[in-house]
Structure 1
Amino acid sequence: MTVYHADLREAQADPALAALLGRSPTSAPFDRLDWLSLLAEHCLLADTCKIAVARDGDALAVLPFQKNPDGTGPLGTWYSFFVRPLTNAPQRAPELFAALARSLAPAGAARLAPMPEAEALTLAAAFRTASWIGVAEPCDTNHILELKGRNFAQYWSARPGALRETVRRKTARGKVNLRIETTFIDADWAAYEAIYARSWKPEEGNPAFLCAFAQAEAAAGALRMGIAEIEGQPVAAQFWTVEGGTAWIHKLAHDEAYRAHSPGTLLTAALFRHVIDEDHVHTVDFGTGNDPYKRDWMEVQRPRYALQFYRPAAVGHWPALARLAARRMLRPSSQPALVSPEAAG
């Protein structure tokens, strides 16, 4: 088995890596090499962004990561719904992921989050197989909708009555005009940024990154940009993409001055109708964060995990290991336990 670390340009030049980290019928934006490259260009220090690679014949596994002064961190930001390892040989994931974990040993510490549960638990087992000590535990919540063959009308009939009545009444008034664009329009993006600035949302972290991502998704046919207008004035905007059978809700905002007309709610309903009945997605993903309003639209909550692991020989991390051990002693038995080399059995 060959194990090494590549920078993003090296990965792009490798056909097997480019395929594994490329757009496909089952891909997610946050796995793709072009997403990682945009993050490195706009949000991170590019020379710290690496991909750990394990390959054995045609079997391949990768883990994007950042090198930082404290060890190994996720190659992601607040824009990433998740980070995770990938493999084209899932039946060999335990040994391939263990090889990735061993390759990170010189860093002495690794913290990776947020991560889907299945990948988190498999990678945690791989870390302990590679003689790391640490913990994998829930750190956030992901809200999703699984359509299971339903059309929009069937989905909508199951929404809370108050939500359906709001959409019915505000639609009947005819004040709000809605449109959904699949091409990148400069004026619409400018409207989104202006609306976001007037919304309840915190200051946008890196608008240049988000704009570049939207342009790239439009070029790939994946952009779904929703705009709500009142008397020609944009008052709400939402940025979704469609990929791998899933609609990903990246950004939504409305102008607080027009809140009484519920333009954001009407726009969300219109986008749900579009991705369900026209794009025929099987899943809608609302990202991380346990905001109460998400429960009106979604039906399933999934945990996102944080992995925090240390090498026993890394003396500088012994205080952190001691704190983890203390947490293990205090944690109720129903909560995830500290995992260690001895636990591998």
Structure 2
Amino acid sequence: MALRKKPPLLLRALDGETEAWLPLMRQANNHHVALANWYNFTWRPIYGDTCAESTRLSLLRQLALTARQRTRRLTLAPVPDEDGSASQIATAFSSAGWIVDRTECDENHYIRLNGRSFDEYWDSRPGQLKNTVKRKGKKNIVSTRVETEFSTQSWSDYERIYARSWKPHEGSPEFLMQLAQQESLAGTLRLGLAYIDGKPVAAQFWTVENGIALIHKLAHDERHLDASPGTLLSAALFQHVIDIDKVDEIDFGTGSDAYKRDWMESVRPRFRLDMFWPNHVANWPLIARLHLRHMRRKAA
């Protein structure tokens, strides 16, 4: 995996018995980035179980002071801010002397159920989506199932569908399979599969944990697009996690794909934080360009 080519760096701050960590990895030229990859929904600092909200800013400032000794530049993404993570990091590093540039880098579609059943949720969906599921479902061409345990055959079906879909080449199929196996052992795997005449035509990889359903991967064989297997499978999975798993929230990951709006009700931003230590000469051209960009924004 790509992570092996980037040495990790774990920065630690301590306040009494309270701890916080910044998990990072090194790029070239003393530039460190968030310890994350394309599978991450979010990245944020890690806090100990006893860490109160009031202590986080102090711990983050300690991390910012420590980081000055270990790196000249930090890039952190995708950072959420609904819990204050992006704002707290930016404030702490700015107060420690770093130059901080915060920009929106992605968006996350999600829905909070607020106790609704699937039928109540489904009533609020767009008419075109509901009509598609109703019409295609009546034909009984597509059969769907939701599996909660990993099996070699089902995962082989998933990979076969993915290979025939519009999706780009999987970044690390071995990692994804190991994740599915671990989630199965933990009881959190929800692998959706759709078939036509016994042949796999659509697949989705979800997990359910702490009241949240996370949609990691979805794909369908475009040769069977007329039967809408992906849409029917989505409806089956939404019904499963809402009525059986009783989740509070469904998270569609990152990306601004238009179809996500049919299934979700809310959008929240994901941020990129670029932070430069101003006393390092290699950062001066980058800081100058950053200031120039800010001046152009103000003038526009």
With structure 1 as the length reference, what TM-score do the two structures score?
Answer: 0.83
Match of 2:63 in 1: 100
DSSP 3-state at the match of 1:44: helix
Distance in structure 2 (CA, Å) of the matches to 1:259 and 1:47: 40
* Deviation of 1:178 (Å): 0.6
Q: Is residue 199 of structure 2 the alignment partner of residue 233 of structure 1? A: yes
Q: 1:43 to 1:244 in 2, by over 3 A?
A: farther
Identity %: 48
Deviations 1:136-159 (A, max 9, x none): 121111100111111111110000
The corresponding residue for 2:45 is: 85
* Amino acid corresponding to residue 2 of structure 2 in structure 1: C
What do residues 101-156 of structure 1 show as CA deviations (whole Å, max 9, x unaligned)?
Answer: 11111311001111102201110111111110121121111100111111111110
Distance 1:333 1:114 in 2: 28
> What letter corresponds to residue 289 of structure 2 in structure 1?
R
Partners of 2:107 and 2:137 in 1: CA distance: 32
2:2 paired residue number: 43
Where in structure 2 are the equivalents of 1:1-345 lying within 5 Å?
Answer: 42-45=1-4, 48-70=7-29, 71-87=31-47, 88-105=51-68, 106-117=70-81, 118-332=84-298
Give the superposition deviation at 1:43: 3.5
Q: Which amino acid aligns with 2:24?
A: F
Q: Distance in 2 between matches of 1:119 and 1:274?
A: 32
In the TM superposition, residue 333 of structure 1 has moved relative to its aligned partner by 8.5
In 2, distance between residues paired with 1:158 and 1:266? 17
Using the size of structure 2 for normalisation, the TM-score is 0.95
Rounded to whole Å, the distance in 1 between the matches of 2:65 and 2:118 is: 47
Single out whichever of 123-132 and 87-96 deviates more from structure 2.
87-96
Segments of 4+ in structure 1 off by > 4 A? none
Task: Classify the secondary structure of the residue corresponding to 1:143.
Answer: strand
- AA in 2 matched with 1:81: F
Give 3-state SS (helix, strand or coil) of 1:45's partner: helix
- Equivalenced residue count is 293
Contact 2:6 2:27 in 1 (8 A): no
Runs of 5+ consecutive residues of structure 2 not aligned to the other structure = none
Distance 2:15 2:227 in 1: 58
Unaligned runs of 5+ in 1: 1-41, 335-345
Amino acid across the alignment from 2:128: A
Residues 49-69 of structure 1, C-alpha deviation per residue, up to 9 Å, x if partnerless? 232221222212122111222
Cα distance 1:220–1:269, how it changes in 2: closer, same or farther (>3 A)?
A: same
CA distance in 2, matches of 1:259, 1:252: 14
Deviation by residue 1:216-255 (Cα, 9 ceiling, x = unmatched): 1111001000000111101100000011211000000000
Residue type at the aligned position of 2:73: A
Residue type of the partner of 2:44?
Answer: R
2 CA distance for matches of 1:69 and 1:205? 21
- Cα-to-partner distance string for 1:244-280 (whole Å, 9 max, x where unaligned): 2110000000001111100000000110011111111
Residue type matched to 2:58 in 1?
Answer: E
